[in-house]
C-alpha cells in the first residue's frame, strides 16, 4: 500500500493529533495543604515572570514558617547559563546567606517538578520538603510533542539519594500546564541543541 494512501494519511494525522494533544492534568497529591496551594500560586506567578523576562516558564519559592525567604525564576536563556533553572538558581543565589538549619526547615515550592540537576541542588542544600506543581513527564510531552518521556521522576531520585527529603506533587497541575502550553509551541525544542549548546529549558 502506497504511503500516500488515505489510510496512511489518516494514521499520520491521528499520530500528529495525539502527539500535540494537551496532557490530561493529574490529580493533586492528597498530602498537600491549603497553604501549599497559596505558595504554589506564587510559584506559578514567578513562572510567568520568567516568561516575561525572556526565559522559560519555571518559578520557585522557598518558604519557612509561612514566610517567603527567597524567590527565583528560570534565567537560562537570558544568561545562556544552563544551570539557571528556578530551583538551582534560587539555591545558588541564596545559599551563601542561609544556614543549613534554615534550609532543612523550609519548603521549596516549584512550578514544575525538579529535574535531576535540581534534585541534586536540593539534596546538597538540605532542603527538607519540596512541593511541585506540574509533573515533569507532563510538560515534557508538550515540549517534545510525543509521549517519549525520559523519566526518572524526582520522587524516585530523592527516594534513592536523599530519602529524608519529603516530596509532594503534583499540585494544581491544570493551572501550571497552561503556561507550558502557551510557551513551548513558539520556542525552540530543548531536545535539540541550540547554537550555544544550551539545553533551552
**What residues are labeled active site?**
87
SS3 133: strand
What are the Cα distances from residue 65, in Å, to 52, 105, 106, 186?
A: 30, 8, 8, 39
Q: Do residues 138 and 23 touch, judged by C-beta distance below 8 A?
A: yes
Shortest reach from residue 85's CB to Zn ion, in Å: 3
Partners of 167 in the β-ladder: 130
Q: Sign of the C-alpha dihedral, residues 49, 54, 58, 62?
A: negative
When the beta carbons of 38 and 160 are compared against Zn ion, the nearer one is 160
Span of 8-16, 17-25, 45-53, 77-85 interacting with Zn ion by CB under 5 A: 77-85
Applying CB under 5 A, does 75 fall inside the site for Zn ion? no
SS3 53: coil
Applying CB under 5 A, does 118 fall inside the site for Zn ion? yes
When the beta carbons of 85 and 155 are compared against Zn ion, the nearer one is 85
Give the contact letters, 78-107, x = binds to Zn ion (CB under 5 A), - = no.
-------x----------------------
- The rounded distance, in Å, linking the Cα atoms of 114 and 170 is 11
When the beta carbons of 26 and 82 are compared against Zn ion, the nearer one is 82
Q: Do residues 36 and 109 touch, judged by C-beta distance below 8 A?
A: yes
Q: How many residues bind Zn ion (CB under 5 A)?
A: 4
Interface residue with Zn ion, options 43, 46, 70, 115 (CB under 5 A): 115
Applying CB under 5 A, does 142 fall inside the site for Zn ion? no
Shortest reach from residue 61's CB to Zn ion, in Å: 15
The C-alpha cell that represents 182 in the structure block: 502557551
Shortest reach from residue 31's CB to Zn ion, in Å: 22
Amino acid at each position: 500500500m502506497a504511503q500516500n494512501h488515505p489510510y496512511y494519511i489518516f494514521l499520520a494525522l491521528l499520530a500528529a493529533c495525539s502527539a500535540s494533544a494537551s496532557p490530561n492534568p493529574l490529580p493533586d497529591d492528597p498530602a498537600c495543604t491549603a497553604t501549599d496551594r497559596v505558595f504554589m500560586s506564587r510559584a506559578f506567578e514567578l513562572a510567568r515572570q520568567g516568561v516575561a523576562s525572556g526565559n522559560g516558564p519555571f518559578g520557585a519559592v522557598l518558604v519557612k514558617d509561612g514566610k517567603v525567604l527567597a524567590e527565583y525564576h528560570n534565567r537560562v536563556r537570558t544568561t545562556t547559563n544552563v544551570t539557571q533553572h528556578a530551583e538551582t538558581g534560587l539555591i545558588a543565589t541564596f545559599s551563601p546567606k542561609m544556614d543549613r538549619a534554615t534550609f532543612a526547615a523550609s519548603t521549596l515550592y516549584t512550578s514544575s517538578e525538579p529535574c535531576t540537576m535540581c534534585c541534586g541542588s536540593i539534596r546538597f542544600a538540605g532542603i527538607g520538603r519540596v512541593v511541585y506543581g506540574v509533573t515533569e513527564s507532563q510538560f515534557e510531552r508538550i515540549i517534545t510533542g510525543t509521549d517519549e518521556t525520559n523519566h526518572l521522576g524526582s520522587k524516585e531520585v530523592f527516594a534513592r539519594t536523599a530519602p529524608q527529603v519529603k516530596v509532594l506533587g503534583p499540585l494544581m497541575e491544570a493551572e501550571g500546564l497552561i503556561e507550558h502550553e502557551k510557551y513551548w509551541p513558539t520556542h525552540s525544542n530543548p531536545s535539540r541543541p541550540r547554537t550555544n549548546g544550551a539545553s533551552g529549558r
